Amino acid sequence: MAAFGDGPERMLSRKRFCFRALVDIACVCCVAVPVLIINVVAQPFHRGFFCDDQSLMHPYKADTVPTWLLVVVGMGLPILSILLVECLLQKTTRCCVLVPTEIPPVPKSCSESSYRSIVIFFFGAAITQLLTETGKYSIGRLRPHFLDVCRPENIPSNCSDIFIMLDVCTGDDSVKMRQARLSFPSGHASMSMYSAAFLMVYLQARLVVSQAKLLRPVLQVAVFTMAFFTCLSRVSDYKHHWSDVLGGSLLGIIVCFLIVVSMTDFHHPLLRRRRAPLAGSRKERLPMYRQDNTSTSSEMPSPGNEQGTIQVHVENEKL
């Protein structure tokens, strides 16, 4: 009968999981679809410029970290890391170096534990991209290579005090012209820093290496170094001003912090390893708490409760 009852329970569990997955995907799409609409429909704010602005006279260069590489590494590396760590956490054999030493592994399956962290990661990435695109198109800050792409003409020879608002560009590449007005904040910086911050927090919360204590910090440093290099390359490639990169980096880190705090709880795998010891070690940090209670109860025993008094003295001796 037990084996027969397992079938309906599994079917019900699968239906609940599928329903939750559909709701989560719909929520992610509600944030991601506006990003596509902004990129297709919206036009950046038309900001003027001074023709002798030194910050806009840098040459146009190719990307050191192209967008496709940012997407592949920024999205693929956290997903692969989550799948690897969650699957290894299900193993309790000694041959596996990834063995949680503070609490036993979560009773969830590898796929369910991985899904709960991956869906939060994607939701945060969608929010980061939405805020980044909103800032780009609302501010319309000019990139450092704007004049090289714009190639303005019909401007006065002495225009040091003239702020040009008219469209005087003669560049024939419309895509470059549009991108030249989308400098703040840096999308490479916001996405790379968000992915790095999320992965660093995840490794800190879930990865316990019992035989190599420095492995986790080394992985975290490697992840942050890749994101930091991506941010620096945007300045050296003359794609962004340093303030654009700083703003994008802060945006990605803040979104990661808010996502981790607001969408995880005491029972979520992302914070389970760090939260569990705190709940169990509260009395251990206050050893006098139990001693004071037991001493008070031993000094004022109830009449005719000699057995309870003996048990209290035995507990005091154990402490």
Q: Which long-range contacts (CB under 8 A, 24 or more apart) does 228-233 make?
A: 229/65, 230/65, 230/70, 230/188, 230/189, 230/192, 231/186, 231/188, 231/189, 231/192, 231/193, 233/63, 233/64, 233/65, 233/188
Percentage of the chain lying above the pLDDT 90 cut: 51
Which range among 50-54, 98-102, 121-125, 171-175 has the greatest average pLDDT? 121-125
Q: Looking at the predicted structure, is the pLDDT value of residue 49 above 50? A: yes
Residue 284 falls within a domain, yes or no? no
What mean pLDDT do residues 288-293 have? 41
Residue type, position 105, single letter: P
Is residue 298 included in any domain, yes or no? Answer: no
Residue 10 in domain:
no
Q: Is residue 28 part of a domain?
A: no
In this prediction, residues 106-130 reach a mean pLDDT of 86
Highest mean pLDDT among 148-157, 171-180, 239-248: 239-248
> Can you tell me the mean pLDDT for 159-183?
86
Name the amino acid, one letter, at 178. Answer: R
pLDDT at 51 over 90: no
Annotated catalytic residue 188: yes
Task: Name the catalytic one among 188, 241, 267, 268.
Answer: 188
- Please indicate, yes or no, if residue 17 is contained in any of the structural domains: no
Confidence of residue 28 (pLDDT cuts 50, 70, 90): very high
- pLDDT score recorded for residue 162: 79
Q: How many domains does the chain have?
A: 1
Residue 53 lies in a domain: yes
What average pLDDT does the structure give for the chain? 79
Q: In this predicted model, what pLDDT tens digit does every residue of 137-156 receive, in sequence order?
A: 999 999 999 999 998 887 76
pLDDT mean over 222-239: 97
Higher per-residue confidence, 123 vs 265: 123
Residue 80: what pLDDT?
Answer: 95
SS (H, E, C) 291-304: HHHHHHHHHCCCCC
Q: Is the pLDDT of residue 6 over 60?
A: no
Tell me the residue range of the domain where 264 lies. 46-270
In a domain, 197, yes or no: yes
Task: Please tell me which residue, 169 or 287, carries the higher pLDDT value.
Answer: 169
**Within a domain: residue 111?**
yes
Residue range 224-241: mean pLDDT, rounded? 97
Catalytic residue among 58, 145, 240, 241: 240
d(CA 146, CA 50): 11
